[in-house]
Structure 1
């Protein structure tokens, strides 16, 4: 089902609040990876992105520049995100803007990946083709701002669906 493309910050807030509600305090690193998996699986299942944001193939895995910029002045990648960090003006209004199908998709991704730490998620993304292909020719610990192809994300996770 198609809906208006969501703002990545609203999706990030929803992910964080779901995790906090479940007793987890997510790190910035974990948030980046979960957003990546939300987008990847959405592309595979629906053929289009949930939100209009690309991921870069950083040393520590996929990173959204928008989310990085949001937290860079107050948080490191390993810092925990608390509810106060989310700066939500109107929680009810913000979450009403997320269609139920999108919430269900996000919650399904959290069910699959939410118990993993940011470092575990980083290791997982490092084994997957979309991140690997975006970093071809780049030394292991060298910075990169190469974008991870949404076509590669879609293709890779579609193939995972057919394997399962």
Structure 2
């Protein structure tokens, strides 16, 4: 289990609580973690997460984050199980990527985020079509995709 991915999820959850209404569902949080990873790769060429993103039926998923929040089902996540305190753990670039994603997308529901992250042409769809269910989505694919869409004002599907 990746404690960094769980720390990323907890940080984004706390940022959403500060900036929005705080009712973040598991699907929403899982997608926000993925998008933050994409922002980090697209803006800085470095991964935010230290574990792979997988192509699941409803879009990209970081398994440890899913496992940590699945008990909430469709209810708001109160806390990410197993996370460690993140203070001092992240670089300024990582904080910028996570803050941007939480601030821009933190009030968008999980269904819309899921739809946006698995439209045709996304890293999820390209991986799903080539390699099938639960395949690892390469960071190169994510980086190239987010490098292109970061020039747009919002995620291409929102």
Same fold (TM over 0.5): yes
Partner SS, residue 93 of structure 2: helix
Unaligned segments of structure 1, at least 5 residues: 1-5
Residue in 1 aligned with 2:13? 16
- SS of alignment partner, residue 147 of structure 1: strand
Residue 94 of structure 2 corresponds to residue 97 of structure 1: no
Structure with greater Cα Rg: 1
Give deviations 1:19-42, integer Å, cap 9, x for gaps. Answer: 122322211111110011111111
Which TM-score applies when normalising by structure 2? Answer: 0.82
Q: CA deviation at 1:17?
A: 0.8
Q: How many residues align?
A: 149
Query: 1:100-137: per-residue Cα shift (whole Å, max 9, x none)?
Result: 33222211112221121001101111224201101106
Structure 1 residue aligned with 2:28:
30
* Unmatched 5+ stretches in structure 2: 154-158
What does 1:45-60 correspond to in 2, within 5 Å?
45-60=43-58
RMSD between superposed Cα atoms in Å? 2.3
TM-score (norm 1): 0.79
Paired position in structure 1 for 2:76: 80
